[in-house]
Structure 1
């Protein structure tokens, strides 16, 4: 174990981008005995307070603040780089933006061994800590999750189809590529059914037309993430996916990856050319 200084983390972007950044930062905090402060800011793509979604984090050495200070709330990259980052360097010994452990390895190889570091990222900064020990859905969300998962059997497979503005998911994980994997599962295990989570009503319609009562999904729920209600439904879908037997997810989607991590289940990614 290496003793480091303190870390302030500002996770940003969508829900699961934030969750993976927080999970990995907590792992660093615990395993390197470093105090961690997390600052959670509402934004257009994650329009909820943390406590609108989850119970407060209760882990020794970890503190949590919401919407703290003007400088910490700005997230426009141009302004951040040109104006805000130099100002933050007056407060912190080190300021690190968009660190990604997949590309660079563990954050502890890059930050100061002493002093205070600010890390602002939407990526993992190292190994994940157990999501289930960090993120506990609040009561009424948990009730909804339990209602939906009561419809599952031991043969229920999760299907997450990411659309709208996620161009790489749309390109790489086409509707037909999902159909091929789902058809294969049904050919092997005819009793299989699917829990479908998607941000596109047209996908729901196609899936229900093709698979009928093999599809479990929700209707008349907000698909966008610019409201508290929409964010709460995102948590419901996320945890329902995590409680399936395995998951057919979307290429390049952190949501698919985090659902699989929460449930410790196998993740299959359909590709249009496979």
Structure 2
């Protein structure tokens, strides 16, 4: 668009009202929130406008990751003005003043007809929610060229994809994006519980069973710690494929690797997933329908 203020200047005002979706936290939290916002916008005759703020959770522009054709606001001052001018504002971010986690968006008999602004890291609750429309949105996302180049470097497809997410807890609290301050105490406790169920040895035991059954001749691994890659490489050798990297942070470059990992996780016949992980969840949602998935802590 010619000017960031084209979204709010009267001469450029659209005929249709808008749903501003202020996507928060990490990559897959943002993608899920965007998908649910897109479905609600479609169902209520609104145009989706994604608010994408670079921060310590996701220090990348949306264009670093996606060839996204929709309307996007990346300037904080413009986003804040759109929020202030909206008819209704919803905030799912529990630690922020005035928030209302999982408040229904445009509940039944809500007469709001103008712009609405939603700030969320989570799938939205609404009578207008449409899981099928969310899937259409997610599957229609196009990775950026750098992400596509990374995918080409890795052997795929594979028999089994493994996603191991464990970097939460006392050893990681110093990282701003893993700090307990990001969540209410009870939700952080839930995360710690499920991370403890997703240790590498749990995945190794299940993977060894699949290998013995002849169901895991090739394996793709996506993990959040270098030592996880090292132990799997030592254990599984040439059976294993993964995307080598030197970065384990939330920088733009590392997030490109993360999105490549996400898409590579979809290109296997079975997924061993980390429970309570938005990354594992989106990886399965992007995979072919009916792809077998097993969750750590519940299925193995």
What SS does structure 2 have at the residue aligned with 1:69?
Answer: helix
Work out which of the residue numbers 230, 235, 255 in structure 1 matches 2:259: 235
Distance (Å, rounded) in 2 between the aligned partners of 1:104 and 1:94: 15
- How does 1:250-269 map onto structure 2 within 5 Å? 250-264=274-288, 265-269=291-295
CA RMSD in angstroms, aligned pairs only: 2.8
- How does 1:114-193 map onto structure 2 within 5 Å? 114-125=113-124, 126=129, 127=131, 128-130=134-136, 131-133=138-140, 135-148=141-154, 151-153=155-157, 155-165=158-168, 167-189=192-214, 191-193=216-218
Query: When the two structures are superposed, what TM-score results if normalisation uses the length of structure 1?
Result: 0.80
The corresponding residue for 2:74 is: 66
Deviation sequence 1:192-245 (CA, Å, 0-9, x none): 2210011111111221222222211132331211x2111111111111111121
Q: Which segment is superposed worse, 139-148 or 236-245?
A: 139-148
Distance (Å, rounded) in 1 between the aligned partners of 2:232 and 2:211: 14
What SS does structure 1 have at the residue aligned with 2:116?
Answer: strand
Query: When the two structures are superposed, what TM-score results if normalisation uses the length of structure 2?
Result: 0.73
CA separation of 1:266 and 1:99: change in aligned 2, threshold 3 A: farther
Distance (Å, rounded) in 1 between the aligned partners of 2:228 and 2:111: 47
In the alignment, is the contact (CA less than 8 A) between 1:42 and 1:67 conserved in 2? no
Distance (Å, rounded) in 1 between the aligned partners of 2:284 and 2:299: 23
Distance (Å, rounded) in 1 between the aligned partners of 2:221 and 2:111: 44
Work out which of the residue numbers 269, 273, 291 in structure 2 matches 1:245: 269
Q: Which runs of 5+ in 2 are unaligned?
A: 1-15, 95-100, 169-190
The corresponding residue for 1:84 is: none
Distance (Å, rounded) in 2 between the aligned partners of 1:168 and 1:42: 29
The corresponding residue for 1:82 is: none
In the alignment, is the contact (CA less than 8 A) between 1:249 and 1:269 conserved in 2? yes
Q: Which runs of 5+ in 1 are unaligned?
A: 74-86
Distance (Å, rounded) in 2 between the aligned partners of 1:188 and 1:11: 42
CA separation of 1:272 and 1:262: change in aligned 2, threshold 3 A: closer
Please state how far the C-alpha of 1:71 moved relative to its aligned partner.
6.5
Paired residue total? 246
